[in-house]
Amino acid sequence: MITTTGLSKVYRSRGRAVTALDGVDLHVREGEVYGVIGQSGAGKSSLIRCINLLERPTAGTVTVDGQDLTALAGRGPRAGRELRQARSRIGMVFQHFNLLSTRTVQDNVELPLEILGISGKERSRKALGLLDLVGLADKAKSYPAQLSGGQKQRVGIARALAGDPKVLLSDEATSALDPETTRSILQLLRDLNRQLGLTVLLITHEMDVVKSVCDSAALMDSGRVVESGTVSELLATPGSELAAALFPVGGEATGDDRTVVDVTFHGEAATRPVVSQLSRTYNIDISILGAAIDTVGGLQIGRMRIELPGRYEDNVVPIGFLREQGLQIDVVDAAQGPALLKEGAK
Ligand SMILES: Nc1ncnc2c1ncn2[C@@H]1O[C@H](COP(=O)(O)OP(=O)(O)OP(=O)(O)O)[C@@H](O)[C@H]1O
Ligand SMILES: [Mg+2]
């Protein structure tokens, strides 16, 4: 539904050049909720602004629903009209809601429809339907100042849906809201994604947001995508920073002469008694340093941090045994040595 290839953005101001995006390749599939996470300045807002051409990319292409927006942006007035049309099919939700304070809730939702030249009666019907969808049917005649933050964001979402978009882009839509309101807005986005088949690309700096609603995620750093995939792919990637942040397990090594390993279980593997098998097969004592079971991206997973006696070199065979069981193994804190790097451990 959304593809970017080699997307770059260089801002130039007062003779200085800032590279905000440095060759971003992103693939968002139809009907998924895709989270982009990264530190402040990583380029997340630049990415979303380039995807809907609010910002003109310096290089690369943006394709939304099969249409190359970057090609449209480069051509004359006719293409300009096509670009505006294409953009009306991309809904945008903002952190600070961006509602017009002098207009009622209903009139705010109608605004994009006015711009599209839709008749008053049709606008009104559509806006009231959307307000009902976001749970604000009774607030149509209120003004933004009379609403809570969560209600304002619901209006922002209703407005974003006015042009019947196939794609909703959200830049930190919940970061001005308290945790409970955040949850309700995320639930709304999830419901809209399911009910309308809407593809949602959301930017956040909160891991919990990714954890609760996203099917896929990308981690950005210095204008690049450094990790990306479905949540289950990420969880199955040894050394994945996103996976470790999505699913942390605590626990420190109890001594130097120990090998610490994170074992991730998904699906059927979770039910097998692998730790006792390992202990019996190799006649070693295993300590469990930490463990957690959680639902990430709608997927039940378990992770356990275990400690094996001896250094990494002494544990190559037992670790191989665990891998053969179809478990994902991350060596966390074994004795130093070049072998570790090859394991992708941190
Ligand atoms: N209009 C602009 N002109 C010049 N530099 C800009 C502009 N917008 C963003 N930048 C720079 O581009 C880089 C990426 O900024 P961007 O806003 O995309 O980051 P972000 O990941 O959204 O950060 P945050 O989490 O703080 O919102 C930063 O170094 C920023 O200073
Ligand atoms: Mg930003």
20 Cα: distance to centroid of ligand 1 (angstroms): 6
For the cut 80, the answer to whether the pLDDT of residue 311 exceeds it is yes
For the cut 70, the answer to whether the pLDDT of residue 34 exceeds it is yes
DSSP-assigned letters across all residues of 152-209: HHHHHHHHHTTT--SEEEEESTTTTS-HHHHHHHHHHHHHHHHHH--EEEEEES-HHH
**Residues around the ion ligand 2 (C-beta < 5 A):** 45
Distance of CA 162 to the CA centre of its chain: 23
User: CA–CA distance from 147 to each of 155, 159, 192 (Å)?
Assistant: 10, 15, 21
Edge to edge, the sheet with strand 258-266 lists 287-296, 299-309, 258-266, 328-331
Q: What angle in degrees, to the nearest 10, is found between the helix axes of 120-133 and 149-160?
A: 130
Tokens of 285: 């004592």
At 343 the pLDDT is 39
Ligand approaching nearest to the C-alpha of 206: 1
* Atom from ligand 1 closest to the CA of residue 172: 27
User: Residue with the nearest Cα to atom 30 of ligand 1?
Assistant: 41
Q: Any bridge partners for residue 33, and if so which? A: 200
201 Cα: distance to centroid of ligand 2 (angstroms): 14
Contact 173, 192 (CB under 8 A): no
For the cut 90, the answer to whether the pLDDT of residue 152 exceeds it is yes
User: Residue with the nearest Cα to atom 24 of ligand 1?
Assistant: 40
Average pLDDT, the chain: 88
Q: Which of 37, 40, 209 most suits a substitution to test ligand 1, by most atoms within 8 Å of the C-beta? A: 40
Residue 194 sits at φ, ψ, to 5 deg, of -75, -50
Question: How many angstroms separate the CA atoms of 307 and 334, rounded?
Answer: 9
pLDDT 10s digits, 224-280: 999 999 988 888 787 888 888 887 777 777 888 889 998 888 766 666 788 889 999
Contact 337, 313 (CB under 8 A): yes
Q: Which of 36, 40, 46, 52 most suits a substitution to test ligand 1, by most atoms within 8 Å of the C-beta? A: 46
What percentage of the chain exceeds 70 in pLDDT?
A: 92
Pocket of ligand 1 (CB under 6 A): 11, 13, 18, 20, 38, 40-46, 205
Tokens of 82: 């096509």
Helix (H, G, I), strand (E, B) or coil at 55: coil
51 Cα: distance to centroid of ligand 2 (angstroms): 14
For the cut 60, the answer to whether the pLDDT of residue 296 exceeds it is yes
Please compute the mean of the pLDDT values over residues 197-222 and round it to a whole number: 92
60 Cα: distance to centroid of ligand 1 (angstroms): 18
* Entry pTM: 0.83
Q: Which of 4, 8, 10, 11 most suits a substitution to test ligand 1, by most atoms within 8 Å of the C-beta? A: 11
